[in-house]
Amino acid sequence: MSDLTTQGHDSHAGDGHGHEVAPARPGYSPVADIPHSPRATDTDPRMARRAERQVAAMFVLSMLFVVLFVVAYVAIDKTTIVYIPVMGEVNFSQVALGFTLGAAVFLIGAGAIQWAKKLMPDVEVVQERHDMASPKDDTNLAAANYERGKEESGFARYTIIRRTLIGALALFPIPLIIMLKDLWVPGPLEQGKSPAQILSTTLWRKGSRIVSDGTYLPVKATDLPVGGLISAVPEDLREVEEIEGNLNARGKAAIILVRMQPDQIRSQQGEGWDYQGILAYSKICTHVGCPIALYEQRTHHLLCPCHQSTFDLADAGNVIFGPAARNMPQLPIGVDEEGFLIAMSDFEQPIGPSFWERA
- Minimum CB separation of residue 190 from another protein in Å reads 7
- Minimum CB separation of residue 91 from another protein in Å reads 7
The sign of the dihedral angle between the CA atoms of 277, 281, 286, 287 is: positive
Q: Which residues of 277-313 are buried (b: 16+ CB within 10 A; e: fewer)?
A: bbbbbbbbbbbeebbbeebeeeebbbbbeeeebbbbb
Nearer to another protein, 129 or 271 (CB): 129
Q: How many CB atoms lie within 10 A of CB 326?
A: 20
DSSP for 182-213, written as a single string: GGS---TTTTT--HHHHHH--S--TTPBEEET
Nearer to another protein, 224 or 304 (CB): 304
Distance CA 187, CA 243 (A): 10
- Minimum CB separation of residue 220 from another protein in Å reads 22
- Minimum CB separation of residue 225 from another protein in Å reads 23
- Minimum CB separation of residue 79 from another protein in Å reads 6
Nearer to another protein, 207 or 289 (CB): 289
Nearer to another protein, 38 or 277 (CB): 38
Nearer to another protein, 170 or 183 (CB): 183
Cβ–Cβ < 8 Å for 265, 225: no
In this structure, what are the phi and psi dihedrals at residue 234, rounded to the nearest 5 degrees? Answer: -70, 155
